[in-house]
Amino acid sequence: MEIPLLRDIVILFGLSIAVLYLCHRLRVPAIVGYLLTGIVLGPYGLGMIQAVHEVEIFAEIGVVLLLFTIGIEFSLERLLQIKKAVLVGGTLQVGLTSLVGFWLAWHFGVARDAGEAVFIGFLMALSSTAIVLKMLQERAEIDSPHGRTALGILIFQDIAIVPMILITPLLAGVTGQQDHSILSLLLKSAGIIALVMVAAKWAVPYLLHQIARTRNHELFLLAVVVICFGVAWLTSAAGLSLALGAFLAGLIISESEYSHHALGNILPFKDVFTTFFFVSIGMMLNISFLWQQLGIILALVVLALLLKIVIGAVIPLILGFPLRVGILVGFALSQIGEFSFILSRVGLENGLLSGDINQRFLAVTILSMASTPFMLLLAPHAANAVQRLPLPQWMRTGIKPPAEERPVKLEDHLVIIGFGINGRNVARAAREAGIPYVIIEMNPETVRSEQARGEPIFYGDATRETTLKHARLEAARVVVIAINDPTATRRITEAARRLNPKAHLIVRTRYVQEVQPLYELGANEVIPEEFETSVEIFARVLHKFYIPRDQIEALVARVRADGYEMFRSLTPAAESVSRVKVHFPDMDISAFRLHADSPFVGRTLAGIDLRRKFGISVVAIERDSQIITNPDAEMVLKAGDILYILGPPQKVAEAMAGFVRTQNA
């Protein structure tokens, strides 16, 4: 028996593979490929997909899983850190965009009455949570200032869709139990928020711990899926969006120590179902209508993008961020989002959208969504161009930045740019070591809170030379650049090297392909997170195979020195590892190489008496690639010998410390 849906799924994924391969070769973003697939397969294209409704259901699942994974990678603590972006930024963005959309629709006669004009403003205000967060996630910019601000505004938009839906019948002149509905919604929302807080703190961590103890993979996966869809269903039943519920479910699991394991289980499903979402969006585009009114629709797309860029750029300025962050946020939120489709259906049911206006809205929305990857690529270049203009100071630094302190008067100090996790760790280490340092950070909330704690931190955009000079970078010995914006990282590296040719520049980046460009711009050391964790793991593996510590350090140095190329191929091999394969409970075996200047050279094992001094024993010696097991106590040690020492880990560590001090004495 033929199953029509199965046939449609095969066609959908088959064409998606072909289109995505072509997009990959042409270096076109994958989201555009998905939209093109939907256009080709949809009812206005070749009409090859019959089960359109079923595809839309799968698309909803895709949005749920996408927002769920983003919630897992976030956390309640980090959400509270961006509460100002959610409450203030979100309110301003939705309010201003709705107001501008209302004025344009009313002034140019697009709307038949004020209610329809307000509704068009609502449609304009919403951006695409799914596309923007997916792109920011892929570009590793979720934790950047513009990524966090955009996320906060998008969360508010997802919440705002609910009152918009409730208000829509009133705009159409339909009266009913609206006051009762709004009060009921507020009560349900408060109950769900309380449930989320309790579940995140106690219920879910306990539940996942009990399930994890069974070591049953299927049971754990089912529990995660039930939490995801259960919370999404609760929010949907309360009148909130499925996507918001999925995000909250992710936040709940993010507070558990099993969040990474849960994320690994869900990711494959997310990738499959988000394909349905983007393809289903493309299926809605009427090609013939688009072709007939191409000029009008393109003009509307450009107008919508420009308006949302300008409004989106103003919000971060009001929040205290510099102009660069504002422009990046504006470009990220420039499209009209998928939840506008949901709102438009409510408008159609209440007679607020006519057929032609709805078709134009669909075409403008889909084209604006398709432009998002290109807008994100264009954003840094636009920010750089705008910053060269003779703008007022308040536009460059934000309307309410933290009060700027007097210029730093340090010499031979450390400059830390970016106060995320890496910046905090560097500052903590510098503080413990007594190294003078100063921090540059462009998140005003972080600056205020850390200044109150006594950190030598000030607010500023490090892409500007005046900010770097304020930190006395030209007199610094070391500069650490640890931010999440690749374009800004390159600009800061170039400026820092120009201001201080003698400084040692250490740059952190997410991806290994950024290494060579940063070296060319003047960085002394570039540390890509993509491989640095692997290097650390590999070093510990070598230690457990009894490779001498100096060999491990030399290998790691070679890996880093050639831009991690050796680590990618891993063809150069270290010297032969030990053949010692005995495991002793509560014991450790470490390898020590004797250098020519070691005072142990020329002495016997009995003479150095490691057993009496440290309670450890030499179980083997490697000499000239030969392993000598159970060496005689009268055996004379030579330069180049590798001693394999057995003993309790603490005793071995003490012996190693003494051994190194002796060799360096």
What is the third-level CATH fold of 414-523? Rossmann fold (3.40.50)
Helix axes 145-171, 114-125, angle to 10 degrees: 160
Is the CA virtual torsion 169, 174, 177, 183 positive or negative? positive
CATH architecture of 588-664: 2-Layer Sandwich (3.30)
Answer yes or no: are the C-beta atoms of 326 and 153 closer than 8 Å. Answer: no
Task: Name which of 499, 498, 494 is nearest 481 in CA terms.
Answer: 494
DSSP 408: P
Instruction: Tell how strand 588-593 and strand 642-647 pair up.
Output: antiparallel
Q: Is 641 helix (H, G, I), strand (E, B) or coil?
A: coil
Answer yes or no: are the C-beta atoms of 605 and 620 closer than 8 Å. Answer: no
Q: Is 349 helix (H, G, I), strand (E, B) or coil?
A: helix
What span, in angstroms and rounded, lies between the C-alpha atoms of 563 and 557?
10
Answer yes or no: are the C-beta atoms of 448 and 473 closer than 8 Å. Answer: no
CB burial of residue 190 (10 Å; 0-12, 13-18, 19+): exposed
Answer yes or no: are the C-beta atoms of 12 and 62 closer than 8 Å. Answer: no
Show the CA angle centred on residue 586, arms to residues 583 and 592, nearest 5°: 70
| Letter string b/e over residues 261-300, b meaning 16 or more CB atoms within 10 A of that residue's CB | bbbebbeebbeebbbbbbbbbbbbbbeebbeeeeeebeeb
CB burial of residue 441 (10 Å; 0-12, 13-18, 19+): buried
Q: How many other C-beta atoms are found inside a 10 Å radius of the C-beta of residue 228?
A: 27
Tell me the per-residue pLDDT of 71-109, one tens digit each, with 9 for 90 and over: 787 666 767 778 888 889 999 999 999 999 999 988 887
Task: Name which of 582, 580, 577 is nearest 552 in CA terms.
Answer: 577
Show the CA angle centred on residue 309, arms to residues 20 and 393, nearest 5°: 130
pLDDT at 579: 42
Q: Which structure tokens are listed for 586?
A: 């509560």
What span, in angstroms and rounded, lies between the C-alpha atoms of 301 and 65?
29
Within 8 A by CB and 6+ apart from 662, the residues are 598, 599, 600
pLDDT at 575: 40
What is the third-level CATH fold of 4-174+207-385? Na+/H+ antiporter like fold (1.20.1530)
What span, in angstroms and rounded, lies between the C-alpha atoms of 194 and 172?
34
Instruction: Tell how strand 525-528 and strand 504-509 pair up.
Output: parallel
Q: Give domain limits for the chain.
A: 4-174+207-385, 414-523, 531-569, 588-664
- For the chain, which residues score pLDDT lower than 50? 177, 570-585, 665
- Global pTM? 0.68
Answer yes or no: are the C-beta atoms of 397 and 318 closer than 8 Å. Answer: no
Answer yes or no: are the C-beta atoms of 70 and 412 closer than 8 Å. Answer: no
Report the amino acid identity of residue 416.
I
| Letter string b/e over residues 315-351, b meaning 16 or more CB atoms within 10 A of that residue's CB | bbbebbbbbbbbbbbbbbbbbbbbbbbbbbebbeebe
Q: Which structure tokens are listed for 377?
A: 């690529």
Show the CA angle centred on residue 477, arms to residues 471 and 480, nearest 5°: 65
What span, in angstroms and rounded, lies between the C-alpha atoms of 271 and 278?
11
Report the amino acid identity of residue 387.
Q
**Residue 398 phi, psi dihedral angles, 5° rounding:** 95, 155
What span, in angstroms and rounded, lies between the C-alpha atoms of 108 and 103?
8
What span, in angstroms and rounded, lies between the C-alpha atoms of 501 and 517?
17
CB burial of residue 389 (10 Å; 0-12, 13-18, 19+): exposed
pLDDT at 30: 80
Within 8 A by CB and 6+ apart from 617, the residues are 610, 611, 645, 646, 647
Q: Which structure tokens are listed for 443?
A: 């998140």
Bridge partners (DSSP) of residue 339 are none
Percent of the chain with pLDDT over 70: 86
Show the CA angle centred on residue 263, arms to residues 262 and 265, nearest 5°: 65
